[in-house]
Amino acid sequence: MSTETIKVSPPAAWRLNHDTVRAATKNQGGVQAVVHVIDDEADVRHAMELLLEGAGFVARSYPSARAFFESNPYEGPGCVITDLRMPESSGIEVLARLRQNGAALPVVIVSGHKDVALAVHAMKKGAIDFIEKPFSAERLIETVRAAVERVARAPSEPPQARLSMLSKREHEVLDRVLAGKSNRMIGVELDISERTVESHRASIMRKTGARNLAELVRLAAAQG
């Protein structure tokens, strides 16, 4: 992950809400939640720590999954944000080990466009959300805040009801989007133009109420 995809300086509004964020992310016992960042690239870890701390979070970073687990992360509330692809252990392996150990820490996966299918798999395994690279500072902060506060926006309709509104062609496009395929690749496979693919994708977002790809993945994962 390149630091060029992350804007290091958080907006002034986040800095002004520093105390508010810290108060909102404490558990009932008054213990401050900690955001655990796992990434093998030092520059990325540093940039994310600056963003999170500037927004009022307590952040700790680790160069590997091993370093993370050796820190005894089970003590206290918080969340984990981990890169999907790392040399020693993947983000999915981090998630699996946390669940095996009975840890309830919510996990956010950071993935590239080509890894959307793996991100879907991670969410089916229990990840609370995923961020697709490149991402903005605002997207990172909003996602982490939701994870730490355990804010779940309950849909007005079950996933099955919203997905059932899609046409056969829209389902075909959706399946390929979730597999991480580009509009061009989808167009070739379905023998339609890229513009038509874009139109179908817009219709899918409108019918399901998903605001972005992550929400669409979460919706599909909830259906199973």
Output the pLDDT for position 176. Answer: 93
Alpha helices in the chain (DSSP H): 12-16, 18-24, 42-54, 65-70, 91-100, 116-124, 137-148, 159-163, 168-178, 183-190, 194-208, 213-223
More confident residue, 138 or 29: 138
- Three-state DSSP class for residue 148: helix
Cα-atom radius of gyration of the chain, to the nearest Å?
Answer: 18
Write out pLDDT tens, residues 78-135.
Answer: 889 999 888 888 888 998 888 877 677 889 998 876 777 887 888 878 888 888 888 8
Write out pLDDT tens, residues 52-77.
Answer: 999 888 999 999 999 998 887 766 67
- Is residue 108 a contact partner of residue 147, using CB atoms and an 8 Å limit? yes
**What's the whole-number average pLDDT of the chain?**
79
pTM: 0.62
Q: How far apart are the first and last CA of the chain?
A: 29
- Is residue 48 a contact partner of residue 81, using CB atoms and an 8 Å limit? yes
CATH class label, 159-223: mainly alpha
Q: Which long-range contacts (CB under 8 A, 24 or more apart) does 118-125 make?
A: 118/84, 118/92, 118/180, 119/84, 119/217, 120/178, 120/217, 120/220, 120/221, 121/92, 122/84, 122/91, 122/92, 122/95, 123/217, 123/218, 123/221, 124/221, 124/224, 125/92, 125/95, 125/96, 125/99
Candidates 221, 129, 132; CA nearest to 180 is: 132
Q: Where are the domains positioned within the chain? A: 3-148, 159-223
Write out pLDDT tens, residues 180-211.
Answer: 899 999 999 999 999 999 999 988 888 887 77
CATH class label, 3-148: alpha beta
Res. 173 pLDDT band, cuts 50 70 90: very high
- Three-state DSSP class for residue 110: strand
